[in-house]
Homo-oligomer: A and B are copies of this chain.
């Protein structure tokens, strides 16, 4: 059901400083940047192989990502896997009694569907499932 790792998200407190390490020094390519209003984050997209590193800087102190940063500090935030059929994936997880953050897929502003599995069910890892919808 899983096609590939779409991205690994890293929370940072200063996106410009983070880009100096990940792009200028480590040599990853900056493919784009975006403000995602629904999550209150600025995101930098750094493709690597068939996956990406996404650097997230919260833009609102009350958001989930901001609270994560305050509580745990900068670091890896979640892993996102691409699936063919997110409804089928969630149905299978529910049958296995896996704790989900999103019981139903959330429709992103870009048309993709996503849902998060609770870290308690995944060895402390926040796992995002993501379905690229057909154009």
Contact = CB atoms under 8 A, between A and B. Distances in A.
A84 to B, nearest CB: 11
Contact of A4 (B11, B12, B22, B49): B49
Interface residues on A, range: 35 or more
A48 B79 CA distance: 12
Interface string A1-18: 111110010111000001
Q: How many copies does the complex hold?
A: 2
Nearest to A117: B26
Contacts of A27: 1-2, 92
A111 to B, nearest CB: 22
B123 A10 contact: yes
A5 B46 CA distance: 11
A93 interface: yes
A95 B79 CA distance: 31
With a 10 A CB-CB cut-off, give which of A10, A48, A93 has the most chain B CB atoms: A48
A116 interface: no
B123 A48 contact: no
B12 A123 contact: yes
Interface of A: 1-5, 8, 10-12, 18, 21-22, 24-28, 48-51, 53, 55, 73-76, 79, 81, 92-93, 96, 98, 119, 121-125, 127
